[in-house]
Structure 1
Amino acid sequence: MGRIVLVCGMPGAGKTTLARALVAELDAVHLCPDEWLVPLGIDPHDARRRDRFERLQWRHGLRLAELGLTVVVDFGLWSRVERRRLREQARAIGADVELRVLDVPLAERWRRVAARNAEPGAVVISREQLVDYERWWQPPDAAERAAYDAPVRRSGAGTSGPNAVP
């Protein structure tokens, strides 16, 4: 059975950067809605479509884990309920599940988002949106973190850093 790595954090926390490093380190598949929605011409801020797309990607990720692959899920996963739902579904198919959390202060996240907003093809997020999103963030506590498997390393590549919290 495979492994699912859930990467959680708010916009600008470094989720995609960490996810890409984990994909290389673990020889994994990366599931990131923004990397599909934007090229398909779908507004990544359209909550209904994004939710449907994430559910579709998640089903695909479960199937890949059933086939023995490692899947890195880069959805944000801001709420405890959402993380628990994914963890329970992954456990139901027998997959190991690990959680990587990036909890970065708002000022630093805005600095990163503002820089990213200037890049071609970026999913633009305003400061007002970023501040508004704060109300949805439920960082995992020690009890929640304890419900996940320990991180696994498969190569010499490092994933430790100021934002990488197993």
Structure 2
Amino acid sequence: MDSTVKPRLILLCGLPGAGKTTLAKRLAREIPAVRLCPDEWMADLGIDLFDEPTRDRLERRFWKHAQELLRLGQTVILEFGFWALSEREEKRVRARALGVPVELHYLAAPIDELCRRLEARHAKGEPGTVSISRELLEEYTKLFQAPDADELALFDAPPPGRRR
């Protein structure tokens, strides 16, 4: 790793089908960075992706690991979805306490497009995917707290020369 490049924390925020994994994989290759994706780990371990207690434990463990990696100078991408403002705020504040810049990438798409992407992804049998009905996705949109311009302004921009 180039010693002049400062490690950073990258948070990917969005509903299922918004493009978080696609962006995370590209960034992980280009930066390079360690990408932590609960869906993929749960699928690999044969855990139901809707098992929220296990997901919460895994995300807490990933966060501990991410902090260790950041202290060691490694950029980390957390692909958790970050539906709640409080989750995003906690990660931003804690990473900044480590002296690390924090990016928030909010990915959004209309519900029809999310449904189309999810159906296509599930039909291909991509790892870490499950069938998500339109009804469930509509319920998720009620729970999701999209970041507004004021919140987005609290985060760091990607370094010059790196595309989003």
* Gap change, CA 1:36 and 1:116, over 3 Å in 2: same
CA contact (8 A) 1:62 1:90 kept: yes
2:86 matched to 1:81?
Answer: yes
**From 135, 146, 162, the counterpart of 1:128:** 135
Aligned position for 1:2: 7
Task: Report the Cα offset of residue 154 of structure 1.
Answer: 6.4
**From 57, 67, 76, the counterpart of 2:72:** 67
* Gap change, CA 1:134 and 1:27, over 3 Å in 2: same
* Length, aligned pairs only: 157
How much is the aligned-residue C-alpha RMSD, in angstroms? Answer: 1.5
Structure 1 residues without counterparts, runs of 5 or longer:
160-166
Aligned position for 2:25: 20
- In structure 2, distance between residues paired with 1:52 and 1:154: 36
Q: Deviations over 1:105-164 (max 9, x none)?
A: 111000000111112243222222111101111111111111111112566xx44xxxxx
2:36 matched to 1:31?
Answer: yes
Aligned position for 1:164: none
- In structure 1, distance between residues paired with 2:18 and 2:42: 20
- In structure 2, distance between residues paired with 1:98 and 1:67: 18
Matches for 1:16-165 after TM superposition, within 5 Å: 16-120=21-125, 121=127, 122-152=129-159, 158-159=163-164
Answer with 131-140 or 3-12: which moved more.
131-140
CA contact (8 A) 1:3 1:69 kept: yes
TM-score, normalization by structure 1: 0.89
Q: Which residue identity is paired with 2:64?
A: R
Structure 2 residues without counterparts, runs of 5 or longer:
1-5
TM-score, normalization by structure 2: 0.90
- In structure 1, distance between residues paired with 2:32 and 2:66: 14
Q: Which residue identity is paired with 2:91?
A: L
- In structure 1, distance between residues paired with 2:83 and 2:55: 14
- In structure 1, distance between residues paired with 2:133 and 2:59: 22
Partner SS for 2:119: helix
Partner SS for 2:87: helix
CA contact (8 A) 1:30 1:73 kept: yes
- In structure 2, distance between residues paired with 1:48 and 1:139: 23
CA contact (8 A) 1:113 1:125 kept: yes
* Gap change, CA 1:154 and 1:44, over 3 Å in 2: farther
User: Identical aligned pairs, as a percentage?
Assistant: 49
